Amino acid sequence: MSNDEIFAAAYREHYWAVSRYVARRLDGRTGEVEEVVAEVFTVAWRRRAELPHTPLPWLYGVARNCLANAVRGQGRRRRLLARLGNDDAAHGRHIASGPDAEPPGGWVHEALGRLSAKDQEVLRLTAWEELGVDELAVALGCGSRAASMRLHRARARLRTEIDRMGPASAPAPHRPHPATAVDATPAKEHGHG
């Protein structure tokens, strides 16, 4: 198979997976998603001789870089619009649909949002894109052991954030004192009755 045919097969097979990957990270902003996905496949076309046998994790790695470039460009745009003074987002105004506007599972996104961008990406690659550790390593551009360690640490940090978000006023569950635990068992088990 020629490099062109390999690229064409990768494009056909993985276009929608890459699109979903990008859309999740850009909250579905369609115009921006299409631009980033186009950039991903432009890079893949230019580097088609480097496409691995299993290209999806590699494409996710390219998409990460393209997204980083897009985010930097958005930051420059926001700063320019803020200087011009004609953008609602530059002034911190946004539209909410009411006091209960938080989407279902918003607390998970809040906990995830408290993590570093690198931890967020590791967790998203494994949860949203369903990558295994070896594929995660390819997407991150590191070895499998490093990817496994990064995933382990990111999960631990997420658990910590979720624990911090737990209700502070909730009473601790009742656990019998070890000395009275035997007394809590039914009398029949002790030969009484």
Q: What is the pLDDT of residue 189?
A: 43
* Count of all residues that appear for the chain in the document: 193
Q: What is the pLDDT of residue 33?
A: 87
Q: What is the mean pLDDT of the chain?
A: 74
Mean pLDDT of 54-81: 77
Mean pLDDT of 28-42: 84
CA dist., res. 13 & res. 55, Å (int): 10
Mean pLDDT of 94-118: 64
Q: What is the pLDDT of residue 186?
A: 41
Place of tokens 């460009």: 73
CA dist., res. 57 & res. 43, Å (int): 14
Give the pLDDT band of residue 158 (cuts 50, 70, 90): confident
Mean pLDDT of 25-52: 86
Query: What pTM does this model have?
Result: 0.52
